[in-house]
Chain A
């Protein structure tokens, strides 16, 4: 009997782009065959986007049309995400109480903000920590109050403590002793040592109510987009790069409905010194996810376009690093691309002398830590 060797579903380039094809055109997914679904689910899982795709399909009333075998996997992830939202809301209640005690109003960032503001993308979004923004002057008070309510700074060596407190834009991550939940307290959205200075007090001043039921606040729409952009394009960790880009895409799609959003986006970016990350965000959201950004906005954002050679390099790096970390999405340069972006992120965060000291310490002196 002739041996059946399994066939790969399609050519390597198509495989790489499979998850992008799905995200760009969820409408076409009911027509996908099982081998494509098999690979898509694996890329989605690596990218932490399974629940997100479930929500996209649910919003378009397409779930029932998805074949049963892959649909199950989407439902499994959605259940996980539902539970996650429930526990985030519960946890935010505890944080709110602690901050009230400290006399500081609660401003939520990132995933917790999406949940609190009930943004459509929130239902599919899993994240491990809750991020908040507080005025730098309140940091000590906030930290001691959180400790009073059961959060602990955890085991960070003296070097890490200094790294976070002196140079970065946040306290070392804190974990609650009983609930084991984690909170990141930020006083800025980029490190103190970085070359750009998006003024935190401007962000705080512009913060808006998350919903009608609590006093919790979130960043204003443009600021939320810009924060997401600087987080993605200034951070060195691209394990969730595509998920973060999808966040930006969903934020843009959602706020596009608000009058004045597109008109004010680029000028706000310039005001906060975030025009370059915004340029990258719009560039890669349109090229990878086909986000419908108005031409006028794209043209206005081009003012922050880097030198053509640099842009060519950035394209080569980001178009690889933003894909999921899955063998079917890699080519021979993907590993190098991720490494170079890691170096770049550290370069952006710190002046050269500090950077060298930091990398040396991390490589040779730091006790083994979980990432």
Chain B
């Protein structure tokens, strides 16, 4: 059963007790009384299946701490089974906090994957990994690609299976900030967004609903074919520059959450990925041009 089958009041009630939700390979039990979280879920997670009550990978709650502060300038705390990995945030940031919290749960635990801080999209059976430090425009590019025929595998966490080197999808709402919110809204006026949240550490933040198709195909892994390090530069033409496999390896390891933790297995898995991919630095400024470049990427031998 999908989340969309629940009415708003049913959704709020189930969230009060803990709603089990499946996102890709992980199930979360989400517990909260905060209306903006319920609203964000109903908007962006409509296509997601509910999970069975009997077992959840991660139990998370979002709540206002029970202090006097709740009556003015109130806050919200994210807890993972009672433990708070982040400092409390302003109450208005509850929904983005949920998104950051769900990412934290996966990146801190899922050690059967090599987890790279990167977006990853797929077309015709081949996946492009977009690693990038903040500010590179990775999420904007990722969002645009998924609006033009590429399947969203993930916008934040690329999960590479240690067992076979394939990418495990984890499609979730795409996080956009500041100017890129407006850029994507103009790029795709029909796209569904959560309400904008201002004054976060990243500035103004909003999340875009992933295509139903990406969510539907979350169980289908993909083979990595390209590593593309994007860099947005105002006014720049679209340019692809080859990166050697060894250097791409080191840059990916740097961008990984658990490369060091995985030891020898991490090394072998990443080496396997480099064997099967071509790596590029990519500078761009015009989204339509960038998409053309991606559509024309040569399939590796």
Contact = CB atoms under 8 A, between A and B. Distances in A.
Asked if chains A and B are in direct contact (CB within 8 A), the reply is yes
Interface string A1-16: 1011111000000000
B81 A83 contact: no
A268 interface: no
Interface string B201-243: 0000000000000000000000000000000000000000000
A96 interface: no
A366 interface: no
Interface string B39-57: 0000000000000111111
A83 B263 contact: yes
Nearest to A7: B53
Interface stretch (B94-102, B104-112, B120-128, B182-190): B104-112
Contacts of B112: 72, 75-76, 79
B53 A4 contact: yes
Contacts of B81: 42, 45-46, 326
A80 B261 contact: yes
Contact of A3 (B10, B18, B54, B56): B10
B55 A326 contact: no
A70 B55 contact: yes
B197 interface: no
A154 to B, nearest CB: 23
A42 B59 contact: yes
Interface stretch (A31-39, A285-293, A338-346): A31-39
Contacts of B263: 82-83, 86
B262 A79 contact: yes
A225 B266 CA distance: 37
A189 to B, nearest CB: 31
B89 interface: no
A3 B13 contact: yes
Interface residues of A, number: 27
A260 interface: no
B268 interface: no
Given A6-B18, A42-B81, A45-B81, A83 B261 contact: yes
A361 interface: no
B55 A37 contact: yes
Given A79-B111, A326-B82, A6 B261 contact: no
Contacts of B110: 76
B55 A35 contact: yes
A156 B59 CA distance: 37
B234 to A, nearest CB: 39
Contacts of A83: 260-263
A34 B59 CA distance: 14
A4 B54 CA distance: 13
Contact of B111 (A5, A7, A70, A75): A75
B17 interface: yes
Contacts of B82: 46, 326-327
Interface string B17-47: 1100000000000000000000000000000
A69 interface: yes
Interface of A: 1, 3-7, 33-35, 37-38, 42, 45-46, 69-70, 72-73, 75-76, 79-80, 82-83, 86, 326-327
Given A42-B81, A76-B112, 4 more contacts: A35-B53, A35-B54, A83-B262, A83-B263
19 contacts: A1-B10, A3-B10, A6-B53, A33-B54, A34-B52, A34-B55, A35-B55, A37-B55, A45-B81, A46-B81, A75-B112, A76-B110, A76-B111, A79-B112, A80-B261, A82-B263, A83-B263, A86-B263, A326-B82
Give the 10 A-B CB pairs with smallest separation, nearest first: A34-B55, A79-B111, A34-B54, A76-B111, A38-B55, A35-B54, A83-B261, A42-B81, A6-B53, A69-B55
